[in-house]
Amino acid sequence: MGFYNVMFRKEPEGGYTAIVPSLPGCVTYGRSLELAKQHAEEAIELYIVSLKKHGESIPSDETSFFAPIRLNARTRSSSTKRKAYAA
């Protein structure tokens, strides 16, 4: 059916939120990581059913990936920030 990246975020009140970036609004939750994964699979499947029903194209993450970027703790000057936003 396709390959989808899912981002899991541990919630302060417990459990995990699962977000599928390539499917806007496809977000779910599980009390455990395993449940969050199961719910994400179900949410993706239902999202695709809806896309097909409405004749919309079905995106996939076959050629994309996530890579972490860690920013330094030092504060950047406002001129550096402006340059980054202009790029």
Domain membership flag for residue 35: yes
Q: Domain containing 48 — which CATH number?
A: 3.30.160.250
* 74 pLDDT tier (thresholds 50, 70, 90): confident
Both tokens of residue 80? Answer: 């550096």
Kindly provide the b/e burial profile for residues 30-55, where b requires at least 16 CB atoms within 10 angstroms of the residue's own CB. beeeeebbebbeebbeebbeeeeeee
Domain membership flag for residue 79: no
The residues that bridge with 14 in the sheet, in sequence order, are none
> Which amino acid makes up residue 56?
E
Range of the domain at 34: 1-62
Domain membership flag for residue 51: yes
Beta-carbon neighbour count of residue 18 at 10 Å? 23
> How far apart (Å, rounded) are the C-alpha atoms in residues 16 and 46?
20
pLDDT tens for each residue of 11-24:
999 999 999 999 99
Question: What is the reported pTM?
Answer: 0.74
The pLDDT of residue 63: 83
The pLDDT of residue 84: 60
pLDDT tens for each residue of 34-73:
999 999 999 999 999 999 999 999 998 988 887 888 888 7
How many domains, in total, are found in the chain?
Answer: 1
Give the DSSP per-residue string, 12-64.
Answer: TTSSEEEE-TTSTT-EEEESSHHHHHHHHHHHHHHHHHHHHHTT------TT-
